[in-house]
Amino acid sequence: MKVRQGTDGRKLTIKRAASANFAPKQEKPALMANHKTQKEQEFPYIEWSNLDRSTTKEAVLLYNERVTTYKEMSLLQQRLSEDPNLADQICKLDARNRLADRKLQELNNQLKLVTEKQ
């Protein structure tokens, strides 16, 4: 375990996993064939083709953040056995990845409510 000081002054304890596994959330094989289809099926209420909407721009940025952090985590995970100090970086990337996913879900749910009210 490693103890660090958080941004708010509290102590944070980071436990290192022997083998971290950052598998994507239960991806369905049919969805993996086409990247656009996956994105549109996962978040159906976001108009991915309408880049003039501010919500779509935000969704694209969040989705790209999610993809980028996942790729970085995967690369770092492969090197984790050689350099255990990478665990901190992986934890930070995982937090960013989860935050982007949560914000995408919230955005999708907001748009769903707007669509249902119309």
Taking only the tens place, the pLDDT of each residue in 62-97 is 999 999 999 999 999 999 889 888 999 999 999 999
Task: Band the pLDDT of 34: cuts 50, 70, 90.
Answer: low
Taking only the tens place, the pLDDT of each residue in 1-32 is 555 555 556 655 555 554 455 555 555 444 44
What DSSP character marks residue 18? S
SS (HEC) of 84-101:
CCHHHHHHHHHHHHHHHH
Q: Which residue has the higher pLDDT, 66 or 34?
A: 66
Strand locations in the chain, DSSP E? 2-5, 11-14
DSSP run (H or E) holding 59: helix 54-79
